[in-house]
């Protein structure tokens, strides 16, 4: 059994009076783990808690053996928020140079991550003038700077064309193969088979956890979408 990189126990998060996470628990091991669930089920809040930017009511979140948000973790986690969090008025390369200086990363990192997200042709374009998919990849590139041990990516493939999506999933697997832990959220169930392991989430709770095959077998369904529906019905 591989050691867990992320361990969440009894995590309770209340946001503006609404209990978003009512006591969630989960483990994430190295490899590519998909966090799948409908919009509004608490995926982003959970990811924010893992990165250490979410105020939590109770429970614990440990990453690489340290409490989430610890100073020593800030170099080791790459985080892509759901919003495109780069500067629209700077070019792709300027954005990456700035964030790499913040991370204290090597200048060569900029070229590496621009290539990794396939933006080499657009590196000197202002982010605001790029298409939605290109902007989101520019934001992903920032998360890849410095080859972090843990990547937390909030819906990185939404709105991208199928070829690009396949390329990105291949990239996530290459990153995971080098020993990193990649946690990717999506509300698109057909991305399930691209993951080594799945966490199915609904209304702030994990309703299934395992490899895509395990989850299908357990629920007796052919695809993850049906498995999700059956699990929800069983729980009801």
Note the residues at the interface with another protein (CB under 8 A). 15-16, 51-56, 69, 71, 74-75, 77, 79, 81-90, 94, 98-99, 101-104, 126, 142
Cβ distance 133 to 164 under 8 Å?
Answer: yes
Distance, CA of 181 to CA of 7 (rounded, Å): 12
- Give, for 32, the enclosing helix (H) or strand (E): strand 31-36
Residues ≥6 apart with Cβ < 8 Å to 56: 11, 12, 13, 49
Nearer residue to another protein within complex by CB, 70 or 164 = 70
Rounded Cα–Cα distance for residues 210 and 224 (Å): 12
Q: Closest CB to another protein among 63 and 175? A: 63
CB of 148 to another protein, least distance (A): 10
Q: Name the minimum Å distance from CB 214 to another protein.
A: 32
User: Are the CB atoms for 68 and 28 separated by under 8 Å?
Assistant: no
Query: In the complex with another protein, which residue's Cβ is closer, 39 or 161?
Result: 39
Give the shortest CB-86-to-another protein separation in angstroms: 7
Give the largest Cα separation in the chain, rounded.
53
Nearer to another protein, 117 or 200 (CB): 117
Q: Which C-beta is closer to another protein: that of 110 or that of 142?
A: 142
Task: Name which of 104 and 162 has its Cβ closer to another protein.
Answer: 104
Neighbours of 16 (CB within 10 A): 5
- Shortest distance, CB of residue 61 to another protein, whole angstroms? 11
Minimum distance, C-beta of residue 152 to another protein, in the bound complex (Å): 9
Q: Which residues of 82-117 are buried (b: 16+ CB within 10 A; e: fewer)?
A: bebebeeebbbbbbbbebbeebebeeebbebbbebb
Give me the least distance between CB of 225 and another protein, in Å please.
30
């Amino acid at each position: 059994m591989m050691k867990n990189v992320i361990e969440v126990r009894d995590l309770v998060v209340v946001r503006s009076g609404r209990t978003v996470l009512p006591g969630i628990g989960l483990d994430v091991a190295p490899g590519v783990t998909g966090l799948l669930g409908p919009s509004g089920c608490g995926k982003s809040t959970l990811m924010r808690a893992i990165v250490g930017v979410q105020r939590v009511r109770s429970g614990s979140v440990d990453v690489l053996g340290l409490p989430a948000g610890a100073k020593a973790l800030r170099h080791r986690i790459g985080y892509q928020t759901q919003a495109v969090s780069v500067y629209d008025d700077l070019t792709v390369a300027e954005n990456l140079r700035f964030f790499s200086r913040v991370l204290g990363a090597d200048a060569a990192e900029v070229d590496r991550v621009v290539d990794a997200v396939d933006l080499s042709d657009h590196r000197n374009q202002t982010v605001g003038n790029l298409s939605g998919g290109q902007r989101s990849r520019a934001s992903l590139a920032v998360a890849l700077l410095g080859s972090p041990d843990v990547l937390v990516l909030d819906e990185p493939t939404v709105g991208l064309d199928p070829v690009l999506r396949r390329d990105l999933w291949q990239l996530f697997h290459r990153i995971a193969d080098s020993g990193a832990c990649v946690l990717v959220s999506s509300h698109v169930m057909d991305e399930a088979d691209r993951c080594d392991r799945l966490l199915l989430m609904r209304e702030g709770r994990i309703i299934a956890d395992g490899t895509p095959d395990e989850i299908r077998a357990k629920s007796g369904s052919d695809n993850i979408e049906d498995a999700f529906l059956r699990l929800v019905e069983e729980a009801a």
